[in-house]
Chain A
Amino acid sequence: MPASPAARPAPTPPRLAVEGLRIDGRQQGRAITVVDGLSFELRPGRMLALVGESGCGKSLTAAAILGLLPWGFRITRGHVLLDGEDVLQLPPGAWRRRRAESMGAVFQNPLTALNPTLPIGSQVVEAARLAEQLGREPARARAQELLELVGVPEAARRLDDYPHHFSGGMRQRVAIAMALARNPAILVADEPTTALDLITQAQILRLLNRLQRERDLAVLFITHDLSLVAEYADDILVMYAGRAVERGEARAFFSAPLHPYSRALLGAVPHPAAPEERLTDIEGLPPAPHEYPPGCRFAPRCPRAGTVCRHEPPPPRVGDGSHEAFCHHPYTEGP
């Protein structure tokens, strides 16, 4: 692992770049800012893991780039650049078409990921069939191909089966096939494995990793479980209370996490280098959007918090060059 940024090869341009994203909305009649100043990039062939506790704004971030924000929520600041083009400036219809062509999405619940009243074969290629005016036979062939790609056994025989004939893990595979039907450059997966057992979780991650390499996919993988993505993520973005707290290359991040929150999250993962230094789970709960504190939002729960933390929003602090943290007193040594 090269230590200085100059030694790294020039990065491929991002497929999707999010810059200074802010999302505002309403919750029980109150105006809230659920995501603020968030930036990240999705690059071909790489997986970015977006990690954070429940309610920190992960799903709304994904919804924002997929154009699926719930009613009342809006992007109020920032840019979403798709292959360099600011899609927020596009008319809604054009943006919608661009999205459908270039992004696929998989969500959390395998039970509701598929329409229970349609055979999986026709569902998987529905969007492609409509967009490309595929005939019946080519559509079936495409469906079979996609199901084989995601590892559904005996795909040809199962095209006419309904979702309830499949296990949760298999349904998520079908959902992934459906997301890939139009050959998107970007795949957004919002906790696609959270509802699955550990073994299936690992299988799905391996599958995503393979697809990402084979198809040069840019993957956004959302999870609250750092240990799950430790093996496969190329980049990490840790969010806390609507903001990024640490981000960068996964290897650098895991070898020397800078932010106290990242360390606390990693506390759940025994570290081989220093098992005795395992941090326990973080005390307390993350704040709700209407009660985000001034200064560092993690301060009320942070073991290193000082006076400055409670008043000044923390600036970015660069670690070993390939990742940075937003913290007044980052850890500078390894774990």
Chain B
Amino acid sequence: MFAMILRRLLVSVTSLVLLVTIVFFMIHATPGGPAYSILGMHASPAAVAALNKQMGLSQPLGEQYVIWWWHLLQGRLGYSYIQHTPVTRLLRIYTGRTLLLDLSALGLAALIALVVGLVQGYLAERPLGKVIGVFQIVFYALPVFFVGILLIYILSIRLNLFPPGGIGHHGLDSRLRHLALPVFTLTLPIAAGLSRYFGHQARQEYRLDYVRTARARGLSDLRIALHHVLRNAVRPFVTMVGMMIPAVFVGDVLTESVFNYPGLGWLLWRSALDQDYPTVSAITLFIGVLTILGNLLADLINSILDVRVRYE
């Protein structure tokens, strides 16, 4: 168990180092380097050289790489020349909103997936099971942009039930109403993907002999679903939820853009348009770290679920 956690931690740390390195090289691989993006494509070579010197970009790459690490470890993520503020300050403002949106969507999607998946596993070959399968594919494939705009058009503009965007300011009610459409939009494809996966998992489980004997012994369908099938199918599902995090963030960028929801995804989108490299790379790093942590957490949950079974 302890060795397992240690192994997982090692994997996570390795992924982190790789992530940081890749982001570093991504920045330096941009044509002309960061200076051009700050000064514009038509900047004079002298101005570029001056800025490079000022930013430490004229030093050898290896040295810059070490400095890059040194700054990261101190929590210095750079300075946004567009927003004229340290990136860490931007992260402080925007992260909370994104976590609220993404975690609500992921949690809701996981819950929906568990219920739908169990039902689907139970239904197996029955027509209703197949209908659910079709809906999963459709919802999974629908672009977030399309769903978002459709929802805004129907529920905000026509029916005036929800605000079309923003985050709201006055009290919980307003905030929740602003959150509703983005959360729903983001939940839909995740729930579709996760429930398809879990439905498949549950179906495999339902085929096994122990489920058949449980039925023969007269256990109720609900008990079989919760006490037997769920118990066994949930572990790969937890891993899957962890692995969804990057996909959630991709959906988040789109959702936040459509709903003008000022979170990290929105900031990333704006910063990319503005070629604000420090901000883009900081968000990339930050999301990467969250992903690695999410997967680590999923592994830990699994090993805790597992301990009760395999306490060797």
Contact = CB atoms under 8 A, between A and B. Distances in A.
A198 interface: no
Interface of A: 66-68, 70-72, 96-97, 99-101, 103-109, 112-118, 126-127, 130-131, 162, 164, 175, 178-179, 181-182, 188
A114 B214 CA distance: 9
Contacts of A107: 209, 212-213
Contacts of A175: 213
Interface of B: 124-126, 208-210, 212-219, 223, 228, 231-232, 308-310
In the complex, the 8 A-B pairs of residues with the closest C-beta atoms, listed nearest first: A100-B218, A127-B217, A105-B216, A112-B208, A107-B209, A112-B209, A115-B210, A117-B231
9 contacts: A67-B215, A68-B215, A104-B216, A109-B208, A113-B210, A114-B210, A164-B309, A164-B310, A179-B213
Given A118-B231, A178-B213, A71 B124 contact: yes
Contact of A126 (B126, B219, B231, B308): B219
A100 B218 CA distance: 5
Nearest to A162: B309
Contacts, number: 77
Contact of B216 (A66, A72, A130): A66
Contacts of B308: 117
A117 B217 CA distance: 18
Most buried by A among B126, B213, B308, B309: B213
B126 A99 contact: no
A178 B217 contact: yes
A68 to B, nearest CB: 6
A262 B219 CA distance: 39
A113 B213 contact: yes
Contacts of B309: 116-117, 162, 164
Contacts of B219: 126-127, 130
B218 A101 contact: yes
Nearest to B210: A115
B125 A72 contact: yes
Nearest to B125: A71
Nearest to A178: B213
A72 B125 CA distance: 8
Nearest to A131: B218
Given A72-B125, A100-B218, A113 B231 contact: no
Contacts of A105: 212-213, 216-217
